[in-house]
Amino acid sequence: MEHPTLEAVCGPMFAGKTSKLIDRIDQAQRSGVPVVACRPAADTRSDPDALTAHDGLRRPAIVVAHAGEIPGLGSAPGGLVVIDEAHFFGDGLIDPVRLLLRRGVSVVVGGVDTDHRGRPFPPFPWLLCEADRVVKVRGVCADCGGPSARSHRLSADESALAVGGAESYRALCRGCFDRATASRALH
């Protein structure tokens, strides 16, 4: 009988989430576990067919336009599906992940857990409740060097899913984020 697990790897941008997912892929492959890695087409920043970490590590990945495609990517009971940049899927990821778990497939989901205003970023409120294991990654605050916890957007774009890299976002600790966003309403 399979006992699949759900793991969430989350935190602000530039904190090493994709490196953690690559660790999970490598661990599974060393153990002979079949792995499928995927990422959303909506994230246009990196190589379309790979998970790419900021340290340059990359592993092949399938690009999906919609979360509903993920259960059909060829995962088998006892296998592992790794999903990066989950915040691009929103709560549309919930049913596909549940379906995989019911099939006996373990799932590791990575992504940004709070948006540019510091609000919970779907599907993480759900994921953090249902996950068997939660890994909160922290990087370095761009202002004070403390532990980064939020992704501060440098532009005035107010859409929750504005795609961008280091030119558009800085990772900040809670205090520096609060000061940087104090001029904007937080609701």
Q: Which is nearer to Zn ion, 16 or 90 (CB)?
A: 16
49-54 contacts at long range (C-beta below 8 A, 24 or more positions apart):
51/18, 51/21, 51/22, 51/25, 51/82, 51/84, 52/18, 53/16, 53/18, 53/19, 53/22, 54/14, 54/16, 54/18, 54/19
Min separation Cβ 88 and Zn ion, Å: 26
Decide: 15 and 135 in contact? Cβ < 8 Å: no
Q: Which is nearer to Zn ion, 68 or 118 (CB)?
A: 118
Min separation Cβ 38 and Zn ion, Å: 33
Min separation Cβ 138 and Zn ion, Å: 11
Q: Which of 105, 170, 104, 94 is nearest to 130 (CA)?
A: 94
Cα atoms found within 13 Å of the Cα of residue 30, Cβ hemisphere only: 6
| CA-based R_g, the chain, Å | 16
Options 85, 130, 158, 167, the catalytic residue: 85
> Which parts of this chain interact with Zn ion (CB under 5 A)?
141, 143-144, 146, 173, 176
Min separation Cβ 77 and Zn ion, Å: 45
85 is catalytic: yes
Q: 167 to each of 4, 6, 102, how far by Cα in Å?
A: 39, 33, 41
Q: Which is nearer to Zn ion, 105 or 176 (CB)?
A: 176
Q: Which is nearer to Zn ion, 21 or 141 (CB)?
A: 141
Prior bond of 147 cis (ω within 30°): no
Q: Which residues are catalytic?
A: 85
